[in-house]
Amino acid sequence: MQQGQKVTVNNEPKKDLAKDAVDMLTGALLMMQNAKNTEKCEGSFPVFDGKRRFNINLTDDGRENLAKSEYSKFSGDALRCTLKVEPVAGFKPKDKEKGWMAVQNHTEARKKLPTIWFARLEEQGPVVPVRMEISSEYGAVVAHLSSSAKK
């Protein structure tokens, strides 16, 4: 498939774009499961959002010890991951100027791609996102784990 290729026919997604890809939520779960199983942030995860096909690529940036703060309830060892969205098909030239692709282009220009930290809240528990940072020309966004439900 070529970038910018028309994706729909009669408002129905082309089935070949969805082949071997998952929805965004499943893609996020696969990233976390992979981080849990490998203890690394790496891999390419194919996603189809109903219109566009893209890969979410994770690059391992090592481990970091995060401190608890007034914003973050998590403290401890975390995997530090760089996240990049790679367009595969269904993207139009104007898509690079809006939404996630525009933010990614801004972060690449600043040489600071979006970063996400994964960690376990319990020793044998799943790996979950505990922090995320995005810095673009629109401004910076930092998301923290603010609470965790315990039984």
pLDDT at 93: 84
* C-alpha to C-alpha distance for 37 and 94, rounded to whole angstroms: 38
- Is the residue at 27 inside a domain? yes
Report angle CA 124, 129, 135 to the nearest 5 degrees. Answer: 155
In the chain, the number of structural domains is 1
- Is the residue at 2 inside a domain? no
H/E stretch holding 144: strand 139-144
* C-alpha to C-alpha distance for 78 and 60, rounded to whole angstroms: 11
- Is the residue at 67 inside a domain? yes
pTM attached to this predicted model: 0.80
Listed residue (1, 130, 139) closest to 67, CA to CA: 130
- Is the residue at 93 inside a domain? yes
Both tokens assigned to 5: 């290729």
Pick from 91-105, 117-131, 132-146: least confident: 91-105
28-39, pLDDT tens digit by residue? 999 999 999 999
Q: Which structural domain, as residue segments, surrounds residue 25? A: 8-144
Task: Supply the Cα-derived Rg of the chain in whole angstroms.
Answer: 17
- Is the residue at 48 inside a domain? yes
